[in-house]
Amino acid sequence: MVLKSMNQSLSHTPIPFSIWALGAVSYFMKISATIIFSLSPLFVTQVLGASPFMLGVLEGFIEAISLFTRIFAGIISDIIHKRKSIIAVGYVLALISRPMLALATNISSVFFGRAFDRIGNGLDATPRDALVGDLAPPHIKGACYGLRESLSRAGSFTGSLMAVLLLWLTQNNYSLVFWIGSIPTALALILLLAYVKDPVSEKYTHKKSAHKLTLQDILHLPLLFWLILLLSGLFMISNFSGAFLLLKADQIGLELHLVPLVYVVQNIATASTAYPVGYLSDKLGRRSMMAVGILLVIFSDLFLANGSSIFIVLGGVLLWGIQMGISQSILPVLLADTCPQNFRGTGFGLFHLVNGICLIIANSLAGWVWSTSGPAWMFYTSAFIAAFSALVLPFIHKQSRKKSD
């Protein structure tokens, strides 16, 4: 009913078809990525025998590869004025990575397979986020970002269910499941090439010259842009990899083939939250929504730190999923609000670069604290850092929802 009433209220300004198509692309890509992501931590620890600390380091460096790739992809998309082409290259690399993981027999093999996958993700994420901002009408920008995030998270939900089902049907045959995970990636690539427009490419098609991106242009981006980078970076240090949610579920005794259900719960919550929150941020402002997201991180960590039963842990996972629906919708649209179209790829590249550095810290710290002090202290540390990031919020102007194009 809530989504229906929201759609009716937005009927006078329909969400562009290319946004829906990009959401469908994200849906299929997330199915594939979630199958890989939800099973690889178990594969690394249960089959290959790696420690939680090694897993944390591995996840941190793999995410760093992805996030450093994003700054490159964003800058290039602004220079060559093509977003869709770079996204397509990323999907091709992700498609190649699936067989690499299926054939992996040691940690090094997994690292290279995941690295290929995350390079592809890096080439996808920044131009895609910028492309949503290019396509979205300014006064429903939050709704557009929220819709894409909801469809993406719906793909994560579907992928989580498929991971559980495939692991059961194949009797824990990780290799076969990784092969099957390549099919949605191929579908995503086809949809992208056939149905998604690239307005930046079309805008510059008939221009013989365009403004060259310089360091001065980057340094003169608005102060609010840099404050949002600071907020996002601090907040991301509290956002450890979802692999630790899986380890928490495994620790309390959940059967192996049911562990990916953690992602099912998380992604139901995220998918159900992202679009309504994006819509509300168009009406009520972004800052208050982000404050709610930070508060939910703290409550989620408290549940997870003290959870001794599957119900308490899943309650923490549910809150974690809701905060992700909020933060993953609000932070990108905050950035899009403050970044001009011709520098938006670079802006999102910096956004993801800062997040990448902070995720290295977050995952390495989480793995170290888990191994040395126990899971509870890891979750308490996350809660403290999230609370600290809220100190930036008073400096984020309420009127940040301005036209940037």
- If pLDDT is split at 50, 70 and 90, which confidence band does 9 have? very low
**Does residue 94 form part of some domain?**
yes
Find the helix or strand (DSSP H, E) in which 137 lies: none
Residue found by looking up tokens 């679009």 in the block: 275
- Which range, 7-16, 195-204, 328-337, is most confident? 328-337
Q: Answer whether 262's CB lies under 8 Å from 317's CB.
A: yes
Instruction: Say what angle helices 243-251 and 375-389 make with each other, to 10 degrees.
Output: 140
Identify the pLDDT of residue 204: 58
Identify the pLDDT of residue 10: 45
Q: Answer whether 98's CB lies under 8 Å from 181's CB.
A: yes
**Does residue 350 form part of some domain?**
yes
Identify the pLDDT of residue 405: 47
- If pLDDT is split at 50, 70 and 90, which confidence band does 209 have? very low
Identify the pLDDT of residue 52: 67
Which residues, 6+ apart, have CB-to-CB distance to 390 below 8 Å?
Answer: 291, 294
Taking all residues of the chain, what is their mean pLDDT, rounded to a whole number?
A: 80
- If pLDDT is split at 50, 70 and 90, which confidence band does 2 have? very low
**Does residue 400 form part of some domain?**
no
**Does residue 36 form part of some domain?**
yes
**Does residue 389 form part of some domain?**
yes
53-57, 348-352, 364-368, range with the lowest pLDDT: 53-57
Mean pLDDT of 389-399: 79
**Does residue 271 form part of some domain?**
yes
Q: Which amino acid type is present at position 341?
A: Q
Per the structure, the count of domains in the chain is: 1
Could you tell me what percent of the chain has a pLDDT over 90? 15
How many helices (H) and strands (E) the chain has is answered by 17, 0
Identify the pLDDT of residue 43: 72
pLDDT tens digits for 160-201?
788 888 888 888 788 888 888 889 999 999 999 988 887 766
pLDDT for 400 beyond 60: no
pLDDT for 96 beyond 70: yes
Residue found by looking up tokens 């179209």 in the block: 341
- If pLDDT is split at 50, 70 and 90, which confidence band does 399 have? very low
Identify the pLDDT of residue 255: 66
Mean pLDDT of 233-261: 76
pLDDT tens digits for 267-297?
788 888 888 888 888 888 788 889 999 999 9
Identify the pLDDT of residue 391: 92
**Does residue 203 form part of some domain?**
no
CATH number at residue 133: 1.20.1250.20
Residues shown for the chain: 405
- Structural domain boundaries enclosing 280: 17-198+223-395
219-223, 268-272, 335-339, 391-395, range with the lowest pLDDT: 219-223
Please state the pTM of the whole predicted model: 0.72
Identify the pLDDT of residue 294: 93
Q: Answer whether 404's CB lies under 8 Å from 340's CB.
A: yes
| Residue, of 95 and 247, whose pLDDT is higher | 95
